[in-house]
Structure formats: C-alpha cells, structure tokens
Chains A and B, each alone.
Chain A
C-alpha cells in the first residue's frame, strides 16, 4: 500500500520508505551481507552477521559502543577485510576490492575534511580522482554545495567553518561521486541537540532527492527512529533484531531490544492459561496479569512482560473495566513540561516507571507519596520469551 506523500510532488522513483520492499519476500536485495565475521586476535567484533538491504533504503545500524556496528560499516567500505563471509553490492562480490575501487562512499564521524584544501577542493577531490575534467567537476561541486546550502562557503578552509557546516561539507563530498551506497558513521554525533534535529530531516530530504541507499551507524535511538526505513539493533557483534522503527519499538523480539529502545518495565512470569482471546500470566511482582495471546506458548512457560511506561495509566480511584490494575504509591515525580515521569512502588516492593503526557492542564496533579492505581489494557504489553 503506497501512502500518498503530503509534502512534495511524488519524485520519479518510488521511495523505499513508501514501497517497503523488505516486506516482499521476492524482492531482490541491493546489498547482501552473507555470514560476515570479523575477528581481531581473540576478540570477535562482528559475529556471523547476515543482512539484506534494499535499494533506496535508509538503514540504521543501532547499538552501544563496541557492539561492532562501526566495524561492519568499515567492512562495507573496504577498510577492514572480513575474516569470514562476503558482501555483495548490486550483485557484485566485494571480496578483495580495495576501498578506492568500491561503488561506496563514506562519511566519517570526524568528517575527515582535508585541512589543507578549501571546501570546494574537498568536495571536488573524488571527481578529480575519477578523471573528470576540471570544469565539469567544479560545475558539479557548485550544484552539490547548493544542495547542502553552502554555496557561499566554497572558498573557505575547513577550520573556518562551524561544526554544522563541516558536517554538510563532509556529506557533499561523500555524495559527489553519486555512490550506489553511502555509509555514514555517526553523521550527527558531533552536533548539538537542536542542530541535530534539524539535520535529521535535512538528511532525509537529501537521501530522498538523490535516491541513494544510506547505511547509517548510530548509538542514538531517537536518531535511528527518526531517520530509518529499517533499524538493525546490534549487540556484541550480532544483529539482535531487524525491523521498521515501529516494529522495533512495539514488537521487540527480546528483553535486550525492548530495554535498549526506549524504556520499559519488565515483569517475569509464567503462562497460566491461554484462552483464544486473552492470556493470563502469573507474576510475583504484580500479581496475575492479562495480555493478548501469543501463539506457541505452553502452560507454565517462563515469559517476560514488556510494558512501556507511556502505556500505563495512573489514577487515584480504582479504574473500572480495565484488565490490569495494580495498586501502588508514588515514590518520585519528574515534571518535564510536555510530560511527567513517575516512579510507582507496587505492593510487592517493585518500582515501575510510568509516563503521563500533559495532554490536559491538570490543576491537581498526582504527587509524591499518593496511593494510586496503575492500569493498562491487555494489548498494551508484549510477551517475550527471551
């Protein structure tokens, strides 16, 4: 189902963000990573990763520091040689192809702008190495600088630019050769928060204008959620889950992913009864809870209930007609303006996190030490088995 885009007239090429080729099992992947492993001595940085990425995607590799995401990116660029496995880009095996012969370009975390060259020369470097005539190359450079809104800075040296401007030069330089695949290593990592938010949308605009496939490495989950067509969550060299941002958030496949993306309350429990429409789970910390059924679970099987803080309601009076109601006492309140964070201590002693959005102006907000009821519907939680 192609959703109509509200902002601009539809571009000539269909966007991967709209067509979602990964949902089609017959679709041909553009980049195929097959069983790739990278060991440094005894340390395994990337552990048997297989991944298909489609043309025009903006794929985010998300993970903490040292999870192997940068190593994986560097193997795609050709700076690291995989210990095992292979990478195919547009059907071509990249084994043994040096970085300067690959159809990829990379935008470095440090930007890696050549300090002795002007902005213009930095951006032109790739084209000149390709053997493009100077006149043609600089015409293209001017176009590219326009795209990143830096026309006025062509003759400056990198050290005369602000962080945000340098970031755009680095982007322009990595896009000038029109690579089949652009690799971005923490592209927004060095920018301050406000600039980062603006730049995120700018990055999407440029990616959609040029139709280049992007792979972005980031440790920032907000960034991944905003940018990505799909996210690959990495941990200890392995990909833990691949999915659209919504899937990763709403349907995490493990405690690790649920906990890594956003915050979550996890309750350990055992399956009690599995009726066709509802499932009952015994927990020690919150008593019996009701969730939607999940196929393939046996009675007494060990499970975890993952519950996002914003899916929990708080009230002074016991709510009617709600499947899960647990009494507790407010231990802490963090008022943030657009929302409030609560820590509620349940009778079992377990403290849960609850977020309430400030949709209505509340003249008498729930406060410290008040007895409250935390409640949620069966569909609010997700049942995890690992």
Chain B
C-alpha cells in the first residue's frame, strides 16, 4: 500500500507548483484594490480600465495581426516542408533539410532574435527592404520559428496517413497536384488547423524575438506588458494576462482535440 498517499501527493504538489501562480493571477485580476497583493473584494474594474487603455489595445491589435499573419504563412511553409520531407523519399540534402526545419525549435530565442535583427539590418542596407523595423519584420521573424512547429506537426500526420490513399487517387486518374489538394490536404487538415493554432499562440506569447526585431510604433502586447511591469505591477496587467491565458488555453485545447480525434480515427 506504499503508493497510497505518495502518488496523489506528488500529483498535487506538481499541479500546485505549475498552476498556483496562474490561479493567483486570475484571482487577483478580479481584485477591487489598487494594491496588487491586498485583497479588497471582487470587482471587474480592471477589465474596464483595460478597455479604455489605448496603449494596451493598440499593442493587442498589433499582436493579433502579427499572430494571424505569421501563423498563416508558417502553416503554408511548414506544410510544404513536411510534404517534401515525408513524400519525396531520399534526395540530396534531405537530412540537412530535416535538421534545418526543426532547428528553430531548439535554438535559443536570443540567438534567433539577434541573427534575424542582423539579417534585417543588412537586408535594409543592401536591398532597401524591409525599410526599418516594425510589423513586417516581426511577422517574418515569427514565421520562421512557427513554420518549424507546423512542419513537425504536419510531418507526423503525413507519416501516419495511409499512403495508399494518395496512390488510390493516382490510380483513379488524378495527377500529383490534384491528389495533393483532393486527398492529402483534406486528410491532414485537422493537423494543419492544430498547427496554425499553436503557431498563433506561440507568436502571441513571444517577447524575446519580437523585442529584437521590432521598431518604433510596433510594440506587441508582451512587450508592452513587460515594460509596464518594470514600472511596478498594476492590477490591469493581471486582467490582461487573464484574458491572454484564456485565449491560449482555448486554442491549445482545440489544437489538442483536433489532433487526438484525427489520430483516434486513424485517417
């Protein structure tokens, strides 16, 4: 009976460690008091303040634009990379491409950010594009690391997919491009939606890379929160963080459900 109390305790301790800060943040976002650490009764006052805060709303809008654009472009690029890696058999440079497609996953963000910054600066000097840093450069930077995540998700789905589905379509008279759009894409679509959602949340979250490559007038939400907190934690940041947690949780759950349901049905 040795595991009678130990296992539940370990689980509880783990969850407390992981989620206590988040829960306290959510609870204090409904705090009436201006002091972040003193409970002054339930209120949605800070949510109201948030809506009236032009700086935060502007940053949120920029973040959503960046997340939407980079998730979409990353899904296209990641899917193509995954398709090449799973369907073209062995070709010259396949191993290199596999490694390079997944490298951004493990690359320290500071390095990714710095290298992209250097790239953008030198591109501006030689090509004249992108002119200055701002929305465009953040979108490009986010696309690069989000594409890696999408590629990994799409690859695993493509590998699980019964290749004879594609062969059957060829056999019935469809050319290779037709097969991709008629069969492959619909079958892996749930994985792509999941990949898109994941890319979206990753982009929404990112602080480090965005700080490197953004310019004046293009501060994303995490950047604004970070700078606000440095001046002292104000309760409206709690409210904002709660909303972000909500969005991220919902999209991660949807992504997970989509991937799992598809896997259970086995394509």
A130 to B183, CA, bound (A): 16
A110 to B171, CA, bound (A): 15
Contact partner of B178 (CB less than 8 A), chosen from A116, A126, A129, is: A129
Chain A 204-248 interface mask (CB, 8 Å, partner B; 1/0): 000000000000000000000000000000000000000000000
Asked if A112 lies at the interface with its beta carbon under 8 angstroms from chain B, I say: yes
**Are B265 and A114 in contact (CB-based, < 8 A)?**
no
Interface residues of B in 145-170 (CB under 8 A from A): 162, 164-165, 167-170
**Are A129 and B183 in contact (CB-based, < 8 A)?**
no
Which residues of the other chain, A, contact B168 by a CB distance below 8 angstroms?
Answer: 106, 108, 112, 114, 173
Asked if A115 lies at the interface with its beta carbon under 8 angstroms from chain B, I say: yes
**Are B171 and A115 in contact (CB-based, < 8 A)?**
no
Contact partner of B169 (CB less than 8 A), chosen from A110, A114, A115, A130, is: A114
Minimal Cβ-Cβ distance residue in B for A157: B265
Contact partner of A126 (CB less than 8 A), chosen from B173, B183, B186, B187, is: B173
A350 vs chain B, min Cβ distance (A): 47
Asked if B175 lies at the interface with its beta carbon under 8 angstroms from chain A, I say: yes
A115 to B261, CA, bound (A): 13
Asked if A39 lies at the interface with its beta carbon under 8 angstroms from chain B, I say: no
Contact partner of A125 (CB less than 8 A), chosen from B162, B167, B172, B187, is: B172
Question: What bracket does the count of chain A residues touching chain B fall in?
Answer: 20 to 34
A159 vs chain B, min Cβ distance (A): 6
A104 to B169, CA, bound (A): 13
**Are A100 and B164 in contact (CB-based, < 8 A)?**
no
A114 to B168, CA, bound (A): 9
Q: Is chain B's binding surface mostly helix, strand, loop or mixed?
A: helix
**Are A114 and B183 in contact (CB-based, < 8 A)?**
yes
**Are A126 and B172 in contact (CB-based, < 8 A)?**
yes
Asked if B13 lies at the interface with its beta carbon under 8 angstroms from chain A, I say: no
Contact partner of B164 (CB less than 8 A), chosen from A104, A110, A125, is: A110
Asked if A105 lies at the interface with its beta carbon under 8 angstroms from chain B, I say: yes
**Are A108 and B174 in contact (CB-based, < 8 A)?**
no
Minimal Cβ-Cβ distance residue in A for B170: A99
**Are B267 and A112 in contact (CB-based, < 8 A)?**
no
A106 to B169, CA, bound (A): 10
**Are A105 and B162 in contact (CB-based, < 8 A)?**
no
Asked if A343 lies at the interface with its beta carbon under 8 angstroms from chain B, I say: no
Also in contact, A115 and B173, with CB within 8 A (given A106-B168, A110-B164, A159-B265): no
A-B contact pairs, 8 of them (CB 8 A): A99-B167, A99-B170, A114-B165, A115-B267, A126-B172, A129-B174, A130-B173, A173-B172
Closest 6 CB pairs of A and B: A126-B172, A112-B168, A129-B173, A112-B164, A99-B170, A116-B186
B binding-site residues for A, Cβ under 8 Å = 162, 164-165, 167-175, 178, 182-183, 186-187, 265, 267
Given A112-B165, A114-B169, 5 other A-B residues pairs in contact with their CB atoms under 8 A: A106-B168, A106-B171, A112-B164, A112-B167, A129-B172
